Every structure is written in C-alpha cells, then in structure tokens.
Amino acid sequence: MGLLSRKASCNSHGQDSSYFLGWQEYEKNPYHQLHNPKGIIQMGLAENQLSFDLLEAWLAKNPDAAECKRDGQFIFRELALFQDYHGLPAFKTALVDFMAEIRGNRVTFDPNHIVLTAGATSANETIMFCVAEQRDAFLLPTPYYPGFDRDLKWRTGAEILPIHCTSSNRFQITASAIEEAYRQAQKQKLRVKGILITNPSNPLGTTITRAALDLLINFISDKEIHLISDEIYSGTVFSSPGFVSIMEVLKDRNLEKTQVWERVHVVYSLSKDLGLPGFRVGAIYSNDPTVVAAATKMSSFGLVSSQTQYLLSVLLSDKKFRNYYIAKNQKRLQKRQRKLVSGLDKASIGCLESNAGLFCWVDMRHLLRSNTFEAEMELWERIVYDVKLNISPGSSCHCSEPGWFRRLKSFVNSKSHQELKSLRNGPHRIQKWISRLFQSFHDQR
C-alpha cells in the first residue's frame, strides 16, 4: 500500500452507505418479470423512465440528429475531431433557453456563464473545488441526497454539516436550524464557505418556499458566503406551489451585479427533466467570471461528447417538442405520485405531501420496533432481503428522525392495493403487491 496514494486507500467515498449497499444487493439479484421474478425490485435509483416513448418518437422523426447529419449531410468528421472544452455554442444556447423556459422565462441565462460537465455529480464537485479548500464546510438542509457525501467531500476534502430540518414543519428550512448548523461549524473550527440546497428536493419531492429562499439569501449576505442551488429537478414540478429558482429571487430583489449575485451558483443537468442520466450532461451556471473561468478549465477532465451535444442541441431547439415533453412528463409524474400515495394510504402508510421530483418521502415510523436508527435499519434490511424491494432509508439521507424512507414513484399502478396491508403481517404480501405494480408498469410500456 505504500506505493499507492492515501486517496486510493481511504474510506471516505461513502460506498458503505445503505444507499449504495441497496444498489449492490439489487445488482446481485435484479428483478426480471420472466427470468427472475423473485429478484429485488429497484426503487432507490433516481431514473425517470416514464417518458422514454416521447423521446424515442422524436428520434424516429429526426434521425439526422442521432446519425451525425445536418440538413441531410454527414458532419461526422466535424464531431469526431477535438472540440474546445468551452462546449458547442449551439448546445449552450439551446440549454440556457430551455432552463429559462422551465422557469417561465421569468429569468434569463447567459450562455457565456455556463460550464458544461459530465453530469450534475461532476458539476457539484467542480463548483466545490472552485469555492472551498480542504476542511472548509458547506451546510446542507436534511434530509439530503446521499451521494453528496461522495460528490462534495471525497476528492475535495471539504466538509458537510447538516442543517437539521424536521417533520414538525414538513422539513422546511428555518432560521434557527441554519444558525445552529453555523454554530456547530464554529465549534469544530470549520470555516463555513456556503450552503448547498436541492430545489426541488431529493429526497422530499418538494419545492423550497419563496420565504425559505429569501431566508437563505439574507443569511449568505450577512455571513458573506456562497449559495449553491442544485436545480436538476426544476422541470418535474407537477402541482402547486410552482418552482421558484434562486435566480428569480435575486432578480426580484434587485441584487444583480452585487457581491451576493456573484456568490450564488446554479447546478443543472438533463438527467432528471429529460430522463437522460446516461448521457452525462450537467452544467454550472455562475455570475462570477472567476468561477466560470476556473470551472471551465476543470471541465476538461469530464467533457460532454460532441455527438451528445449536437444531438441535444437539435432536440432542445425544437421548442414545440420540448414544451410538449415537459408538460406530458409532469402529468405522468403527478398520476404516478397519486397512485403510489393512494396505495400506501390504503396500507396505513403515509407520505409527505409532495409536488415535484421522482420520489415519495414515506413515513414508516409506526412500523419500527423502537424509535431508533437501529430499528430503521432492521426494517430496511427486511424490506430489501425479504420483500425484495430496494428503497433508501432516511438515515442514508441524514434524516434526524428514524422511520422515513425514500421511494421512487416511477413504477406505480393502482392495482391490488388491498394486498399491501402491513410489513408486520408478513413480507410476502408486499412482495406480491410490488411485483404486480412492476408488472403493470411493463404492461403499460
């Protein structure tokens, strides 16, 4: 081991989290309706497969985009050669136009301020490299996406401290919770460089209120720190209240061209809104020219392929299709969310009221043998190994209350609700119910 770096042998990646362990168990024994009907069903991975048919139909009508053609002529050689890491101008222009449209064109984005990255994972790590040193801290409201422990910390050496939010007010961010997290950082002699939020939230499936966004702006202004707003689910909002971008709040408060304006950064990707995580397309948007310049240099380590950029520039430039896709996808998400919530309600299992994203934040506190995280893990293991269903326990999302679980809502149908009674009545009932839901999903496709 002496010939390897400390990074190669350290255990700070977070791979031993139950969030990732659930994936590993699924990969060992994946469900297949014909070949492995008793395998584990994956409901812990944030993939939106609801509207692939719309994308496939568009590709069938626009074969030139995927075949490296422009106006019927091959441009393979143009795309195959090395491209400047600033990205294809046509794609960046189409992307910022799409981002503005999702936000009701209440804000606009300058393509010169956007940096392309290989997904939001790369975007979040890159912005962290730009604004934080080792042992600097970022505050994150809980519960938060488990992958942040890897994305923000593993290679950068930065620290994460939780802003503890609770079910008493639907996990909303409060001034007292922010101040307490800041005090904890000071006690640990950590320099707080900023706050990172996900809006809409993963795992809550909710949008952050305008009041909370104002609160955050006031706090970072007072403390002279950064705010990173991860808005990768911004196009998935399917019911009120609507989505409010942090950029809209800055504009409404006439904070353009101020120091606060330059300390707010947005992360975006097409992985969730368009259901394209395999395309690895993410972006950083910043009003700080130094951050843009530094992030652009760093992006050379994780470029988006020219072929991908070309295909998506054509797709996103089709405004009629992209408007249709977003509206249709939102309706499908809402329909699935309602079916899942209704089915769980009939089984006496509640969910946090949600209006966005791909998840339901499921309340199983009444199924715990005790109000402890040990009991939560026991319940999670039973769900994974006996019920054969991979969902994420709240502890993996740093929830401060045992008994909450993150469940993907893409694989849902309303059949056989009565079969899901209670985990305490035996896991076979849930296995049978979930299997039928999964079968119904495939039947619909």
Name the catalytic one among 173, 217, 232, 246. Answer: 232
The question of whether 145 is a catalytic residue gets the answer: yes
For 218, the 3-state DSSP assignment is helix
424 touches 382 (CB < 8 A): no
* Torsion on CA atoms 60, 65, 67, 68, rounded to nearest 10: 180
Report the distance separating Cα 292 and Cα 40, nearest Å.
Answer: 43
What is the spatial distance between Cα 171 and Cα 424, in angstroms, rounded to a whole number? 27
Q: Tell me the pairing of strands 136-141 and 191-198.
A: parallel
Q: Which of 272, 339, 388, 409 is catalytic?
A: 272
Phi, psi of 400 (to 5 degrees): -85, -5
* Tokens coding 185: 């950082």
Question: Known catalytic residue: 189?
Answer: no
Angle, alpha carbons 217-201-286 (nearest 5°): 45
Question: Of all helices (H) and strands (E), which one includes residue 114?
Answer: strand 114-117
- The catalytic position among 149, 151, 230, 363 is 230
Enumerate the β-bridge partners of residue 361: 406
Could you tell me how many residues make up the chain? 445
CB 115 within 8 A of CB 284: yes
CA distance 313 to 302: 19
User: How many Cβ atoms sit within 10 Å of the Cβ of residue 411?
Assistant: 21
How far is 413 from 335, CA to CA, in rounded Å? 9
Roughly how many angstroms between the first and final C-alpha of the chain, as a whole number? 50
Catalytic residue among 26, 144, 145, 285: 145
Q: Give the single-character DSSP code of 283.
A: E
Q: Measuring CA to CA, how many Å separate 5 from each of 10, 11, 128, 135?
A: 9, 13, 22, 19
Residues annotated as catalytic (active site), given as ranges: 145, 230, 232, 272
